[in-house]
Amino acid sequence: MQRIRLRYTKRGRLRFTSHRDFQRAFERALRRAEVPMAYSAGFTPHPKVSYANAAPTGTGSEAEYLEIALTEPRDPDRLRVLLDESMPAGLDIVDAVEARTPGLADRLTASVWELKLAGVDPADAERAVAAFNAAGSVEVQRRAKNGVRTFDARPAVAHLESVTPPSAAADRPSDQPCAILRLVVRHVTPAVRPDDVLSGLRAVADLAPPVPAAVTRLAQGLFDEETGTVTDPLAPDREAAQALSTADATAAATAPV
């Protein structure tokens, strides 16, 4: 059984698709592309697809991951192209590797998020960020099935900064202020989401965007404590494939004629 790991996106209006919506679209794409899927056993067999840490509905993403199991080997790059052509524009399959190492989900320990706050002056955002970073704890509330839950969002935020927004596009000029925040959030329990960080900024600095923030996940992967960066979770599979290819080339070169 071959396992392929894929990275996909949620862009534009497709960020409003739920995880179940994506599952349905992806399984249709598997059938259109005639992928030789492995199926589970039992009375209701279903394709062996493992999803990892999907982004909340309404948020965009450049870094969603899943793994599929095949009954016949396929070239990952060719498979990626076939699946991407079968998916709606905005749900794009952008990377594929053969799984050669265990534990993809275990390598998704943090996410990099970008929050665009339309109507917020960048100077106000910088002051709010400074207050959040200086706080020892930032208690926020979230409504759950069992009522309102209060928790500290500060420890999960490894990095938070206000970045300089790009100049307005020529075809969409605007004189409205817009602040952009970049943050690295560890995947902890309870999960801290971007809207929890916004609630924290409101609590510590009274920062309240007049319209909902546009939220995009830029990356997710293993958090490097030394550098504070998030690494590519598919890199170990590429490195393992390269090492195997090098070993095969060396063996072929040294084999007796």
Q: What CATH number is attached to the domain comprising 88?
A: 3.30.70.580
Q: Are residues 99 and 153 in the same domain?
A: no
Confidence at residue 169, expressed as pLDDT on a 0 to 100 scale = 46
DSSP 160: E
d(CA 232, CA 97): 12
Confidence at residue 161, expressed as pLDDT on a 0 to 100 scale = 97
At 129, phi and psi to the nearest 5? Answer: -60, -45
DSSP 207: -
Q: Are residues 26 and 6 in the same domain?
A: yes
Residue 256 is assigned to a structural domain of this protein: no
Among the listed residues 29, 92, 52, the one whose alpha carbon sits nearest the alpha carbon of residue 37: 29
Q: Are residues 117 and 227 in the same domain?
A: yes
Looking at residues 175-203, what average pLDDT do you find? 94
Q: Are residues 169 and 209 in the same domain?
A: yes
Model pLDDT for residues 73-112, shown as the tens digit of each residue: 999 999 999 999 999 999 999 999 999 999 999 999 999 9
Domain end, chosen from 103, 137, 153, is at 103
What confidence category does residue 249 fall into, taking pLDDT thresholds of 50, 70 and 90? low
Q: Are residues 60 and 160 in the same domain?
A: no
Residue 240 is assigned to a structural domain of this protein: no
pLDDT score of 165 more than 90: no
Low-confidence winner among 22-36, 153-167, 181-195 (lowest mean pLDDT): 153-167
Residue 123 is assigned to a structural domain of this protein: yes
Low-confidence winner among 39-43, 97-101, 212-216, 246-250 (lowest mean pLDDT): 246-250
Residue 246 is assigned to a structural domain of this protein: no
Q: What is the pTM of this model?
A: 0.89
Looking at residues 44-67, what average pLDDT do you find? 94
| CA distance readout (Å), 9 to 50, 54, 204 | 16, 11, 33
Task: Assign residue 34 a region (left: φ > 0; alpha: ψ between -120 and 50; beta: otherwise).
Answer: left
Q: What CATH number is attached to the domain comprising 153?
A: 3.30.70
Residue 248 is assigned to a structural domain of this protein: no
Of 41-45, 110-114, 169-173, 252-256, where does the model show the most confidence?
Answer: 110-114
Residue 35: domain span: 2-103
pLDDT score of 138 more than 70: yes
| Counts of helices then strands in the chain (DSSP H, E) | 5, 11
Confidence at residue 120, expressed as pLDDT on a 0 to 100 scale = 96
Q: What's the structural domain count of the chain?
A: 2
N-term to C-term CA, the chain: 33
pLDDT score of 141 more than 60: yes
Looking at residues 131-160, what average pLDDT do you find? 93
pLDDT score of 49 more than 70: yes
Q: Are residues 96 and 195 in the same domain?
A: no
